[in-house]
Structure 1
């Protein structure tokens, strides 16, 4: 009787406890993991019936009808008003919108459930539950106990699973996913892309030793030296860590004096990474019983005066913007195959750079960019009109910035961290963005920091167009979006336009473009036709020939058409933003060849 009472007390205490999100574990591909991808059962819950009681208060942890609890009746008199079944299932990873017509415009809560067995490889190992991304809010429960909550639809997160909670058989993992838009979230309610909901990236159980390498960062300090840091986790840390690069015959040992270890050493004979030669080295980090490997390219990047220097040499960025979407299927991209399609198209266009807009893309994109030698601009969704005066909103943006940088700080391809897109010019916004820039630099001082600025590209009495946004004084790269000839006048307006900036910094066009319905042909004056879009690009290319000496590249908008509820012309859009040079059917438009020819000449 005493044993039963003690066991009951233990279980009730466990149920009452809510565990917190843990610091991000990186280099997941090199870890010992178990995939939880595949079919998950689901319940659509627009009224929050499984989360809130009839007084609209969050249910008690032990409430029998809370959807995070088991749906198996304890007896024939047990009243349960919910249930999970294979009849209703969704694929993970994957957005829910494209998997069933009833989800197409759905914004609200969906409960996901996955049952699994698990046997750890070594007694004493620690187990973490890792999500590549969930859009937007994820409440995570294992065997009826809440592990925690995460906000942010495009960045990874993980929770440590207590030993007492994980079973060898019959585990049930429940995730409440809510993709609703709110004014105090990042992004906010107003975006020009589809709000795909769901567990959109991979889910894995990660097994590590009791003391392990949580993260390591290693980049080129110069052409002949590397530096970085290693973060350890555990109650009994090893006395030293070892960093090896076998191909170069390097094996460096560093003493451990805390949970963060600074590392620096010279590397004679180092071959630097570049688009023309994307050399990567296998790096092995060992700490006690734990070992992590990664393939890393080493290069330097800096802005000096009006130039961007890659490995000390000026580079012109032949870019394109990309949304994380497979247009032919109208869905979120998430796989290595998806990344190969999108980056393959960019290479065929002649690009050496991509802007991954307007949020961090799946890790398969940045890792493939590393191997292909494609430069990357990576961005958080501080977009248009978020609540810049709200401290909680800043914290959310900063958390997403930290998660983006932590995941990808060893990717040589990523040369620009962007803190936002087309934000309105005012003091409150500028202070908000300035603090994000300072945060980015404190997290990673080896890359450029930028933001896509908005300019007045409408009709003007003068041909001089000056980028003078006060945020320009804080960024390394002055980037701006211009649509002269689409939102302002006709493409012929480009003939007298001359762009400059008041800042002695590199100048970059982060967006430019015009819409065309793929396959619609008319004369070049007819809006929405491929001929109009091609004319737009011809005039833009001619204008680019007059750009000042500090003009270092562009990333037109956009590689391929993408879905957006804002685009409602019944003839030429029907829920698609058709500014792609590739149609949403995967067919090149006439503008593709105009841009490709320009890039071939650069």
Structure 2
């Protein structure tokens, strides 16, 4: 019995190590698998299930299962697929924008990539790392299943050391399924495009037998000079090892020892360090070392907290001049994924006068966050708990918590990230509030240094001019954010002039969404819907209205760019696009862009 228990423990440990999500992929020894991948469209999933609807990977069959990537070896053999003769898609990228017939496709597509790999050191371990796949993926290497991942916007990896054919041809096959599910996170109903595919980078990562898998090097909560964090080793010799953390520019070189779980607590003092801010986005090269290996990356140090109704960055009150952004390139009409995509979007935000962006409604690509670090742009990151989730389903909660975990794990060292958002526009109920509160407790347990928020909804009472922000979940957040659409879904723009906001929380208040639709280039008077003048009028009336709120400390209007949405079907005007962007799908700025830019110039002057 003891031997069986030990064996099960060893299996569990091996599986846990294989599933360890490795952080800081850009700072490691990698081989990119980006590029052309062959693909097979499989709406009936015949490559996964036999005719009795039993999965081939659980019921092996000599020729069943596309993941086997088989080829005919004699003329009598029956194989009804061929990756080599199938078309290709670019990875990273969504399939919807690459092939017109896949524009609305929701279902399964199989991807296949061949690669060769030779290890730098014969004793090293090798992982395959995916930046994200939307939404559900089954991954196979050389016909063997590595695992299943659920969630469309966070990274994951599998160890492939024992399956890798060194100096030989390796077949990596991925079954990708973007079908929406009631119990999913997000759920069935959203107001954005359900892009399918391998949407972010794919890398082969080589590491030593015992390697630095993760670390957190950030300022302690409430401090501007005390660093508190950890270094995590993974491997057979992770316990009782020395690890070093160095910042050469600050002449810091500290040594720590791992515990029996391979984790070392890190604490030291920064002396004469420049704090990171939008005006001075100072980054230091931080290096973590152990037994001859080292991992480096640029890290900034800053403090973020609230005091009463103020948001304090490095101890100084700040107004967050923001904009909401979807992970989409309007001119391409597809998922944004590259560094140049991130540069384009954040350059527009900078041109608008932003010091802050809300990345909605899900975790965006890591290169977006790293670029925000460099450019000095504060960031709100959001878990895809959107609208009406299956609040009473334990598996739905586990899914949401898992995605939040992966997001915090990936971006906890980014100085730009100041807010973890739990949800967007969720209807009030006890089940929903308990669900979100559990997420808050989990987030604070992982990272106590950042602020917690969510995009809440507005309510009305008997007075037609009163708008009330009251939500039981508000007591768990650091900043009260809400979405409001007076002038678009709630009357005409001039209605803003008579609205009274009733907000009783002694916390900073931010408006996470406001705005209205306009087709770029369509002009008319300020009362004609869909014209640039109507949208401009909304901004001209909304901004003075918001300034009357005593706790008003920031805003992220909806939205930087027009984006695709199947909900938006009005011919000629929408044609499958949400038109609330300040920039049209052609990349041209609308009139409201300049209204907001002028407002931000005044607010920047006020908060100098």
Shorter-normalised TM range: over 0.9
Q: What is residue 9 of structure 2 aligned with on the other side?
A: none
Once the two structures are superposed, the pairs formed by residues 93-492 of structure 1 within 5 Å of their partners are 93-221=92-220, 222-237=223-238, 239-258=241-260, 259-456=262-459, 461-492=463-494
By how many angstroms is 1:172 displaced?
0.3
**Partners of 2:49 and 2:504 in 1: how far apart?**
54
By how many angstroms is 1:497 displaced?
1.4
| Alpha-carbon contact 1:19-1:147 (below 8 Å) kept | no
Across the two proteins, how many residue pairs are aligned to each other?
584
110-119 or 448-457: which moved more?
A: 448-457
By how many angstroms is 1:263 displaced?
0.5
Change (3 A) 1:497 1:21: farther
**Partners of 1:460 and 1:349 in 2: how far apart?**
38
| Alpha-carbon contact 1:65-1:81 (below 8 Å) kept | no
| Alpha-carbon contact 1:464-1:499 (below 8 Å) kept | yes
Q: What is residue 559 of structure 1 aligned with on the other side?
A: 560
| Normalised TM-score (structure 1) | 0.95
Q: Deviations over 1:291-317 (max 9, x none)?
A: 110100000001111111000111100
By how many angstroms is 1:289 displaced?
3.1
In the alignment, structure 2 segments of 5+ residues that lack a partner are 1-13, 604-608
322-331 or 459-468: which moved more?
A: 459-468
492-501 or 96-105: which moved more?
A: 492-501
**Partners of 1:77 and 1:114 in 2: how far apart?**
27
| Alpha-carbon contact 2:132-2:201 (below 8 Å) kept | yes
Change (3 A) 1:304 1:131: same
| Alpha-carbon contact 2:141-2:163 (below 8 Å) kept | no
**Partners of 1:133 and 1:587 in 2: how far apart?**
30
Q: What is residue 81 of structure 1 aligned with on the other side?
A: 80
Moved over 4 A (4+): 17-21
Matching residue within 31, 42, 48 for 2:45:
48
**Partners of 1:306 and 1:295 in 2: how far apart?**
32
By how many angstroms is 1:175 displaced?
0.1
| Alpha-carbon contact 2:459-2:468 (below 8 Å) kept | no
Change (3 A) 1:489 1:596: same
Q: Deviations over 1:321-374 (max 9, x none)?
A: 000000011010000000000000000000000000000000110000000000
Q: Deviations over 1:210-253 (max 9, x none)?
A: 00011000111221211111111011136210000000000000
Q: Deviations over 1:161-199 (max 9, x none)?
A: 132444421110000000000101110110000000000
Change (3 A) 1:363 1:283: same
| Alpha-carbon contact 1:224-1:268 (below 8 Å) kept | yes
Matching residue within 35, 38, 56 for 1:59:
56
**Partners of 2:184 and 2:167 in 1: how far apart?**
38
By how many angstroms is 1:261 displaced?
1.1
Q: Deviations over 1:381-424 (max 9, x none)?
A: 10001101100000000000000010000000000001110000
By how many angstroms is 1:203 displaced?
0.2
Matching residue within 33, 47, 57 for 1:36:
33
| Alpha-carbon contact 1:65-1:82 (below 8 Å) kept | no
| Normalised TM-score (structure 2) | 0.94
**Partners of 2:367 and 2:359 in 1: how far apart?**
12
